[in-house]
Structure 1
Amino acid sequence: MINTFPFFDTTQACERAALRLRELSVHLNHGDVPVTVLQDTMKYAASVLESVSMEEARWLLEEEEDDLSEVQPDAVPNEVREWLSSTFTRKTAAQRVRSDDKPRFRSVANAIRAGIMVDRIYRRLSSSSLMQQIPSQVMQMLKNIDEWSFDVFAVNEVANGHVLRYISYDLLNRYDILHKFKIPTAVLENFLVQVELGYGKHKNPYHNNIHAADVTQTVHFMIWQSGLANWLTDLEVFATLFSAIIHDFEHTGTTNNFHVMSGSDTALLYNDKAVLENHHVSAAFKLLKEEDNNILQNFSKEEF
């Protein structure tokens, strides 16, 4: 991780702090983080938040109207309600005058906004609880998922044949796809279970679950190590990983030419054109038509 920071009251500070915190989250999922790095990052993030809070307070003082009226009552977490109550209603008038008893936040508005922010962060971290289902041995091996030498066969053996499921969990969580596209973890699990079953449908010795996991990890390696992920949109990153996961779904173990020459039902369905490729995508989207497997259920029409 980069050790240089822009000054905390610059326009780049928030973006850099957010990037560093995301990097920390990824590294914590894959191993230990040096205490000094953790401390430096947290101190910097705290300075950025304090700077933003002070700037917001100044802005509020200059504005004639407070935009708190736009905050819906149910958007305020219970913990924040309790804090506001204890801070602003239980002190006597004499106590409120004393400067050392003033609330840390400059305004109720900042307190509410901060509470909502913390609540959202908590929900975001909770959404990755699916990662906790990955066996410790598999998690240890996934620490090398950024490497070209990643041993997908060894992981599959430790994962009892579920290598695609665990690699997909890990990568979708790493790129924050579950949060950004509101993918329910239970639905993702259902979907990946069915995908693994589809890869084993025809007992294919090559285009199987291990191959799909290998391709998915390789695709990740290319977009991660090259820096391409920084240039792609979130939707493009998701589409790239999704296509890798399902690219040979329900492969029959035979070639397109075999289907065409034998006049198989699949060849007839797709009029001899890219027979297997059409089938992989079509079968995957048929799977998504089932509500319990539809990881795209919260996509907008344009995203879909």
Structure 2
Amino acid sequence: MDEWHINGPQDLVTVPQCIQNAINKKPLCSSITYACTGNHSPTPCHTHLFQFTSLSLCIPDLGNGCACRRSPLGGVCVSPRATLSDQQYQQLALDTLEELDWCLDQLETIQTHRSVSEMASNKFKRMLNRELSHLSEMSRSGNQVSEYISSTFLDKHNEVEIPSPTLKDKPMSHIIGVRKLSHSSSLSSASMPRFGVNTDYEEELAKELEDLDKWSFNIFRVAEFSNNRPLSCIMYAIFQERELLKTFRIPADTFVTYVMTLEDHYHGNVAYHNSLHAADVTQSTHVLLSTPALDAVFTDLEILAALFAAAIHDVDHPGVSNQFLINTNSELALMYNDESVLENHHLAVGFKLLHQENCDIFQNLTKRQRQSLRKLVIDMVLATDMSKHMTLLADLKTMVETKKVTSSGVLLLDHYTERIQVLKNMVHCADLSNPTKPLPLYRQWTERIMEEFFRQGDKERERGMEISAMCDKHTASVEKSQVGFIDYIVHPLWETWADLVHPDAQELLDTLEENREWYLNTMPQSPSPPPDRHLQQDRFQFELTLENLEHNNHNHICLKSGRSSRSNQKAICDDNLKIKNKKKDKHPIKTPNVDAIVTLSPEMCQTVPQPLSNVASKQCVQGRGWGSHHEAMKLWDQGQQV
């Protein structure tokens, strides 16, 4: 096994020698196989170029003198292009595409999918770090936004100072947060309310539920008319519409008992992560499951698992972040070893509640069905950990680009890894769907999340802790945080999802653009404070990846106030979230990835860096994503505080 690189030494992957020869454009047989026999022709191979998750692979055309094993076409030998008729050449193209499909199947078989996704994830992280480093220089609030995005959506393992004294020893054999409640005594199938909840506003509620299948659904009105039982009402309505109670023989009274018990374990005094948010994510997941591109793709069990995962994904949320729980040495952090603390807890509570009286909604599933459902739900809820965002996005982007090349663009999810990948991203998209909703709804969600952030900041201030990014009510910029949130996180995710289900999500992207523009236009237009040397030293330091080293060492790497820059190098970008060097090295050096925090004095920086906003391609202005924060950058460059 040898190593080869794509678009530079930073993108390394292990592949068979045969594939390496293909990438190096050596004369080879018509397909990428494990074994080739015969005399290779000295005639250079024609090549086809296809895009694969922002990485370019060169696949050789059919050459002379080869006999291939395990290829669909066997050992077909074809003359060079000059001796082929148009009909022969067209047939050659079709045969090559067929072999390309076969080739990708082999790559999946030898489990290179993870390597490709990891390369994409690492590349996305480098691009995002570069953008955030530039944003952090613009103003104090810009630095806060950058730090928040980096600390929340990038999976980093920072050193944590555990405060003392530690908590007293407590028995941890039980799942904390689970309370014994009883709703079953007053429920029966004969007396079941129309929408699963008792309310004096049944007609008004019925009117709102007519829009259950719409993305513009107003969950706030449902909460108002359902006696503040939005999750119970939404779950009952969706399960009735999809006939899941009938399909899985779930008794109606058992179902309502469980969802009411589940809803009671969401904290009403938490501003954002409460049962209203759970109901919103559940309804959004319901709509995404109904998108035409995914019609008849998922089984009833997978649909059941996705809706259940959405309903429990934040149960018993305390209103603080994972990092806060870790920093305060909380019992939950100790129980789950600092790994996806809240997500693990939500799962434990959600499944534990099934054991309460008349709450086992899965009692009539077979053992195999229960095991499959549990695995699906665990995978989906753990994927709601925002620190896993870049990995999810890279996996989804890899799938989208692969499907563009194979199967005539038809979405085929044949394996569990592919199906769960889409389901995880679906729930993740639903969890990050607020900016894609109509502006009045989006603004309410923004007010709620900022209130929750500020409450955490107050707790940190009272404890003498460092206040987390975007949690200081005295310095946080709500408008700027939303613009940055959309540009760096939400739009890249939803744009990739829209590619997967094209053209079904275009309306959502349009709404996202409109909401982004609204927040951009409401930013306070005040001059930025002058640079302060002391503040510059306190700025958040971003990870810098050393990449694309050249023989002549023309690239000077400089990090000042968390910013990376390169001389004699311009970047271009496109709407597929790719940033490439205009000038490619003919003989790039094979160098492993080096991730480090690089701190250099100003004297060591031998060149004046160019902001990415100054060299970003104009085509990015119409879209969002890394390298396309152009309008906001222009305002900053003009000395305005955005």
Question: TM exceeds 0.5?
Answer: yes
Separation (CA, whole Å) in 2 of partners of 1:290 and 1:229: 35
Distance 1:270 1:289, change over 3 A: same
Separation (CA, whole Å) in 1 of partners of 2:273 and 2:366: 32
Number of the residue aligned with 2:185? none
Number of the residue aligned with 2:266? 199
Distance 1:138 1:298, change over 3 A: same
Corresponding position: 1:162 with 2:229: yes
Separation (CA, whole Å) in 2 of partners of 1:141 and 1:252: 30
Number of the residue aligned with 1:61? none
Q: How does 1:219-230 map to 2 (within 5 A)?
A: 219-230=285-296
Q: CA deviation at 1:189?
A: 1.0
Number of the residue aligned with 2:444? none
Q: How does 1:84-123 map to 2 (within 5 A)?
A: none
- Segments of 5+ residues of structure 1 without an aligned counterpart are 1-125
Separation (CA, whole Å) in 2 of partners of 1:229 and 1:291: 36
Report how many aligned residue pairs link the two structures: 178
Distance 1:252 1:226, change over 3 A: farther
State the AA in 1 paired with 2:317.
H
Give me the identity figure in percent: 38
- What are the superposed Cα offsets for residues 166-195 of structure 1, whole Å, 9 maximum, x if unpaired? 110010111111011111111111111111
Separation (CA, whole Å) in 2 of partners of 1:250 and 1:233: 29
Corresponding position: 1:148 with 2:215: yes
Number of the residue aligned with 1:18? none
Number of the residue aligned with 1:184? 251
Number of the residue aligned with 1:245? 311
- What are the superposed Cα offsets for residues 134-175 of structure 1, whole Å, 9 maximum, x if unpaired? 623212210101111111111111112111111100101111
Corresponding position: 1:288 with 2:379: no
Q: CA deviation at 1:251?
A: 0.5
Q: CA deviation at 1:222?
A: 0.9
- What are the superposed Cα offsets for residues 10-66 of structure 1, whole Å, 9 maximum, x if unpaired? xxxxxxxxxxxxxxxxxxxxxxxxxxxxxxxxxxxxxxxxxxxxxxxxxxxxxxxxx
Number of the residue aligned with 1:274? 340
Q: CA deviation at 1:131?
A: 3.7
Distance 1:212 1:133, change over 3 A: closer
Separation (CA, whole Å) in 2 of partners of 1:133 and 1:152: 16
Number of the residue aligned with 1:171? 238
Number of the residue aligned with 1:232? 298
Contact 2:195 2:233 in 1 (8 A): no
> Which of 246, 256, 259 lines up with 2:325 in the alignment?
259
State the AA in 1 paired with 2:290.
W
- What are the superposed Cα offsets for residues 187-225 of structure 1, whole Å, 9 maximum, x if unpaired? 111111111111126x21100011011101111111113
State the AA in 2 paired with 1:260.
I
Contact 2:195 2:236 in 1 (8 A): no
Number of the residue aligned with 1:13? none
- What are the superposed Cα offsets for residues 262-284 of structure 1, whole Å, 9 maximum, x if unpaired? 11000101111100000000011
Separation (CA, whole Å) in 1 of partners of 2:244 and 2:194: 13
Separation (CA, whole Å) in 2 of partners of 1:153 and 1:236: 28
* Greater helix fraction, Structure 1 or Structure 2: 1
- What are the superposed Cα offsets for residues 228-287 of structure 1, whole Å, 9 maximum, x if unpaired? 252110100000100011110110111000111111000101111100000000011110
Contact 2:196 2:232 in 1 (8 A): no
Contact 1:131 1:169 in 2 (8 A): no
State the AA in 1 paired with 2:328.
S
Where in structure 1 do 4 or more consecutive aligned residues deviate above 6 Å? 126-129
Separation (CA, whole Å) in 2 of partners of 1:277 and 1:133: 28
Contact 1:259 1:266 in 2 (8 A): yes
State the AA in 2 paired with 1:299.
L
Contact 2:192 2:253 in 1 (8 A): no
SS class of match (1:199): coil
TM-score (norm 2): 0.27
State the AA in 2 paired with 1:147.
K
State the AA in 1 paired with 2:260.
V
Separation (CA, whole Å) in 1 of partners of 2:195 and 2:228: 18
Q: CA deviation at 1:291?
A: 3.9
State the AA in 2 paired with 1:217.
Q
Contact 1:270 1:278 in 2 (8 A): yes
Separation (CA, whole Å) in 1 of partners of 2:191 and 2:236: 9
Contact 1:127 1:179 in 2 (8 A): no
Number of the residue aligned with 2:88? none
